[in-house]
């Protein structure tokens, strides 16, 4: 792991002058990196501050390792759905190779490659804890205590991400629970794993660890994946159950105990039951990493999510200098959406710095309009879950007059050729006043790669009348579009 400080006390003492950059980016996750890239492309000087690993949670303890671990699990499952191939995958997963694959994709938690990339775009990397110290000013404290002050001519972009939130239940500390970190960096399969929380992290972790051979119990207060259409959670619950996991809905943990640190952990549940496991993981949501970044020095509440406008400027701030990108603005806790915000804001910072007019009306170059209308999301569960835009409930809640079209994938021959007895469902939510799509949801094997077609249709506000002319190839899973559009017309 490369976390060595680049600012030694000697270096700090040598360089007493304060450094001034056009833009300072706090946090070098995928979002901070994209903001830096676009600000550099606009010809601005950029300092990037990172306290842990360049690449952020996404590269080392979230998206990348989880998908590297999930892919073998889902690949085997997919093969088992195809007669003739099923017979060739009779054995267990080679967990050592699966973990080695993960280690490859996280570059053994060494960030040298990504740090070099930051330098290659002409930005300066400062390793240490960044804190805002009044308007347009950031101090960086390295792990050896060296301090440096950076001034920003034009902008400070906060891209410090989020951390897991654990419920305040008795025995939490003694239980030494896993979070997304241990759930993605462990190289040992626990015999019994209890996972608390039925959102994206809980569902993917249950899929993954059950697939790797643990006996998983997933404890969720509400039906799984509650932000998606209800049929998604039902299908994913069925998939997990068929894989051998014990999925319990409507259950909360009231206490934990692990008297022997080397022994099992016991969970007390609000239904009166107790559950013994070798490890317990909490996947109960996220909090912004804004508690120790000096927000109080500019009149903002430490630890708060940061409310932003369409260019990602923090709303409660005077002037046009403070931006909040990615998880910290709570728009959509997704890497791709944070990167979209970073590209947009980076370009807006460039335009503002040059005094150019902003193109920040709906769908303009400097507006994150898709955050409101067309956020795509894939959960790599088995079956996969994919959605973009609004669910039927969200659309109705937002005051749209809608029509809902539900179609079973079994109708599409392409789906059946993809997986024998393909089980999956699709839904379109249509704005009846404009005859465009407000949202699309798919659940089924392989639907992750189908989602972008729906994202294009929703973001492009393509009239359904025109969508009919976008012909899906025979025989592909995409033929579902034909059946959805036909069901709407009839």
Ligand X SMILES: Cc1cc2nc3c(=O)[nH]c(=O)nc-3n(C[C@H](O)[C@H](O)[C@H](O)COP(=O)(O)OP(=O)(O)OC[C@H]3O[C@@H](n4cnc5c(N)ncnc54)[C@H](O)[C@@H]3O)c2cc1C
Nearest CB to ligand NAD, comparing residues 227 and 401: 227
201 is in an annotated binding site: yes
d(CA 293, CA 302): 8
Q: Is 485 in the site for ligand NAD (CB under 6 A)?
A: no
Nearest CB to ligand NAD, comparing residues 375 and 438: 375
d(CA 129, CA 2): 15
Beta bridge partners of 439: 389, 429
Antiparallel, parallel or unpaired: β 384-389 and 137-141? unpaired
The tokens of 265 are what? Answer: 């952990």
290 is in an annotated binding site: no
Nearest CB to ligand X, comparing residues 30 and 146: 30
Q: Which of 123, 196, 240, 395 binds ligand NAD (CB under 6 A)?
A: 196
- Find which of ligand X, ligand NAD, none residue 56 binds, CB within 5 to 8 Å per kind: ligand X
Beta bridge partners of 378: 386
Q: Binding-site residue total for ligand NAD (CB under 6 A)?
A: 25
Binding mask 373-412 for ligand NAD (x = CB under 6 A): ----xxxx--------------------------------
| Residue of 237, 153, 169, 160 lying closest to 202 (CA atoms) | 237
Q: Among residue numbers 218 through 247, which ones bind ligand NAD (CB under 6 A)?
A: 220-222, 226
Is residue 31 a contact partner of residue 326, using CB atoms and an 8 Å limit?
A: yes
Q: Per DSSP, which regions of 243-326 are E strands?
A: 246-249, 253-257, 265-269, 274-277, 279-282, 286-288, 322-324
| Residue of 286, 252, 89 lying closest to 181 (CA atoms) | 286
Q: Which of 20, 149, 252, 320 binds ligand NAD (CB under 6 A)?
A: 252
Edge-first strand order for the sheet with 425-431 is: 376-379, 384-389, 436-444, 425-431, 402-408
Q: Among residue numbers 116 through 175, which ones bind ligand NAD (CB under 6 A)?
A: 167
Q: Is 455 in the site for ligand X (CB under 6 A)?
A: no
d(CA 300, CA 304): 8
Site residues (vs ligand X, CB under 6 A): 26-32, 49-53, 56-58, 62-63, 66-67, 129-130, 159-161, 180, 184, 201, 289, 293, 326-327, 333-336, 338
What residues are designated binding site for NAD(+)? 197-204, 285
Q: Which residues bind ligand NAD (CB under 6 A)?
A: 167, 196-202, 204, 220-222, 226, 252-253, 283-286, 333-334, 377-380
């Amino acid at each position: 792991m490369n976390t060595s400080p680049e600012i030694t006390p000697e270096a700090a003492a040598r360089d007493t002058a304060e450094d001034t950059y056009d833009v300072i980016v706090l946090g070098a996750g995928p979002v901070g990196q994209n903001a830096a890239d676009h600000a550099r492309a606009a010809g601005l000087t950029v300092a990037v501050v990172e306290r842990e690993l360049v690449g952020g949670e996404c590269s080392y303890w979230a998206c990348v390792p989880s998908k590297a671990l999930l892919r073998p699990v889902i690949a085997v499952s997919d093969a088992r759905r195809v007669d003739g191939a099923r017979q060739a995958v009779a054995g267990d997963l080679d967990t050592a190779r699966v973990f080695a694959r993960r280690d490859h994709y996280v570059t053994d938690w060494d960030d040298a490659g990504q740090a070099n990339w930051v330098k290659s775009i002409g930005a300066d990397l400062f390793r240490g804890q960044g804190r805002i110290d009044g308007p347009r000013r950031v101090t960086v404290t390295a792990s050896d205590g060296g301090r440096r002050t950076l001034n920003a001519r034009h902008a400070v972009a906060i891209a410090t991400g989020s951390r897991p939130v654990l419920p305040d239940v008795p025995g939490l500390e003694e239980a030494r629970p896993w979070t997304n970190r241990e759930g993605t960096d462990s190289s040992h399969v626990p015999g019994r794993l209890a996972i608390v929380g039925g959102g994206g992290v809980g569902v993917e972790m249950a899929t993954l660890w059950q697939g790797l051979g643990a006996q998983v119990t997933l404890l969720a207060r509400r039906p799984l994946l509650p932000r998606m259409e209800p049929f998604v959670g039902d299908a994913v619950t069925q998939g997990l159950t068929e894989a051998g996991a014990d999925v319990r809905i409507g259950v909360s943990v009231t206490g934990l105990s692990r008297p022997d640190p080397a022994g099992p952990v016991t969970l007390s549940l609000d239904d009166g039951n107790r559950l013994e496991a070798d490890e317990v993981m909490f996947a109960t949501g996220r909090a912004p990493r804004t508690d120790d970044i000096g927000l109080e020095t500019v009149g903002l509440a430490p630890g708060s999510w940061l409310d932003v406008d369409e260019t990602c400027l923090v709303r409660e701030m005077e002037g046009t200098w403070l931006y909040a990108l990615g998880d910290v603005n709570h728009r959509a806790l997704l890497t791709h959406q944070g990167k979209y915000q970073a590209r947009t804001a980076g370009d807006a910072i460039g335009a503002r710095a040059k005094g150019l007019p902003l193109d920040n009306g709906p769908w303009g170059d400097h507006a994150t309009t898709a955050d409101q209308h067309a956020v795509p999301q894939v959960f790599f569960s088995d079956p996969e879950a994919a959605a973009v835009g609004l669910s039927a409930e969200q659309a109705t809640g937002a005051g749209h007059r809608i029509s809902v079209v539900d179609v079973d994938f079994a109708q599409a021959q392409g789906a059946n050729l993809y997986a024998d007895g393909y089980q999956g469902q699709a839904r379109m939510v249509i704005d009846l006043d404009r005859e465009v799509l407000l949202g699309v949801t798919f659940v089924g094997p392989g639907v992750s790669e189908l989602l972008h077609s729906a994202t294009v249709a929703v973001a492009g506000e393509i009239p359904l009348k025109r969508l009919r002319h976008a012909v899906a190839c025979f025989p592909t899973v995409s033929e579902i579009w034909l059946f959805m559009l036909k069901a709407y017309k009839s």
